Structure 1
Amino acid sequence: MPKIEEKQKIVKEIEGKLQDSMLVVFADYRGIKVEEITDLRNKLRMPGVEFKVLKNTMTEFALQNTGNPEVIPHIVGPNVVLFSKEDPVSPTKVIYDFIKQYKKLEVKVAILEGQMLLPDRVKALSELPPREVLLAQVLGTMQAPITSLVFVLNANIGGLVNVLDQIRQQKAG
């Protein structure tokens, strides 16, 4: 296969990953030892997550073609790219835990559902509770008014029952 066709195929593959992913994180991996990057790769083995080193020129073409040209100035130098199709929070937690442990990886920029995020926003994303916890909190918030309504209705019915019982006792006695 000619070299140009090979490169076009790689660009199309990267475009597909960019379009299919909920979250894409670009990070500088300079100074990381092989065993450290292997440790990070192992921790990122979760459903829907890919962790790759990609050539910038191919990535830049893919970013341009998918409507994300604003990201290109942020990905200068060597990059490792994380693609997450399902969960945007868990992979970022893993990345920032790795940064705390080794002090070597540097998040440059991310794309979350088509929106560019700078490193401070990616860090804030990593500090969110897991999806299940957030759903439980929302459900709890939605249930609170219903529970209060049921309690009030039960109290009114209970009061009516007490009044009827007292009337019954008066008529019986």
Structure 2
Amino acid sequence: MSEARVAKTAVVEEVRERFSDSDSLVLTEYRNLDVPAMASLREALREVGGDYKVYKNTLVRFAIEDLDLEIDDLLSGPTAIAFVGKKPDGSEGDPVSVAKALKDFAKNNEALVIKGGVLENRRLTVDEINQLAEIAPRDVLLSQLAGLLVAPMQQLAGLLNALPQKFAYAIQGLIDKSGGSVEEEVSSEVDDASDEETEEEVSSEVDDASDEETEEKEA
């Protein structure tokens, strides 16, 4: 096997692997995009977890023929593919950030043309990619979701902290509403209990004295 054929086979395997591993990708035409602009675009995509690759259309067609992707019509002219990969910090990139980076770059560089894409094996039109670019990035959405989850917990914590104080206010309100009758009833019950104990003590002393007198007479 010639070196050229070996090289082509390696590229086909690489393309097949990239298409299989990436849930999202965008195909672009980069005609007349100069080297500095290409380097700038690649850096912008790298920062958000995108990887911008240029392959021959014939090799891409051959690599994806078993992947059931209907993008044959997009593989014409000078084509580069933006795959979603990992950010420089090792975290996962997301389709929204990659689409946004491409859209923002294309605004100032007419040489870059977005042709279409794929999201989870579904074909995306240019309009759908532009709409995808308007969604908040994954990190922002997660932050907003965390805020929505934390807020009710903070409200619940505040409510629980306020319960003892509100309970005390409720008890005091009952006392004030009854005009002190609650306090008087409690005081009356305490006095009654005290009187009963006193009567029992006196009765016991009388019984003891009577028993002593009886014993003296018998003696």
Question: Which sits farther off after the overlay, 86-95 or 115-124?
Answer: 86-95
**Alpha-carbon deviation of 1:45?**
2.5
**Alpha-carbon deviation of 1:125?**
1.3
Q: Tell me if the contact between 1:27 and 1:106 (Cα under 8 Å) persists in the aligned partners.
A: yes
| Structure 2 portions without partners, runs of 5+ | 86-91, 188-219
Give the match's secondary structure for 1:82: strand
Return the letter of the residue paired with 2:127. Answer: D
Return the letter of the residue paired with 1:71. Answer: I
Q: Which residue of 2 aligns with 1:78?
A: 78
Instruction: Report Cα offsets for 1:29-63 as digits up to 9, x if no partner.
Output: 11212221122122222374321111001111122
TM-score for the superposition, normalised by structure 1: 0.83
Give the match's secondary structure for 2:136: coil
Give the structure with higher Rg (CA): 2
**Distance (whole Å) between structure 2 residues aligned to residue 5 and residue 39 of structure 1:** 31
Give the match's secondary structure for 1:129: coil
Give the match's secondary structure for 2:19: helix
Moved over 6 A (4+): none
Q: Tell me if the contact between 2:49 and 2:98 (Cα under 8 Å) persists in the aligned partners.
A: no
**Distance (whole Å) between structure 1 residues aligned to residue 135 and residue 75 of structure 2:** 25
Question: Which sits farther off after the overlay, 114-123 or 135-144?
Answer: 135-144
Q: Which residue of 1 aligns with 2:18?
A: 17
**Alpha-carbon deviation of 1:147?**
5.0
Q: Tell me if the contact between 2:48 and 2:97 (Cα under 8 Å) persists in the aligned partners.
A: no
Give the match's secondary structure for 1:108: strand
Q: Which residue of 1 aligns with 2:135?
A: 128
Matches within 5 A, 1:27-106: 27-46=28-47, 48-68=49-69, 70-85=70-85, 86-87=92-93, 88-106=95-113
Report the identity percentage.
32
Cα RMSD (Å) of the superposition? 2.7
**Distance (whole Å) between structure 1 residues aligned to residue 172 and residue 139 of structure 2:** 47
Instruction: Report Cα offsets for 1:56-89 as digits up to 9, x if no partner.
Output: 0111112222221x11112221101111123212
Correspondence 1:118 to 2:119 = no
**Alpha-carbon deviation of 1:11?**
0.8
**Distance (whole Å) between structure 2 residues aligned to residue 65 and residue 6 of structure 1:** 21
Question: Which sits farther off after the overlay, 39-48 or 49-58?
Answer: 39-48
Aligned residues: 172
**Alpha-carbon deviation of 1:153?**
5.7
**Alpha-carbon deviation of 1:128?**
1.3
Q: Tell me if the contact between 1:99 and 1:105 (Cα under 8 Å) persists in the aligned partners.
A: yes
**Distance (whole Å) between structure 1 residues aligned to residue 9 and residue 53 of structure 2:** 18
TM-score for the superposition, normalised by structure 2: 0.67
**Distance (whole Å) between structure 2 residues aligned to residue 132 and residue 50 of structure 1:** 19
Question: Which sits farther off after the overlay, 109-118 or 145-154?
Answer: 145-154
| Larger RCO (CA under 8 A, 6+ residues apart) | 1
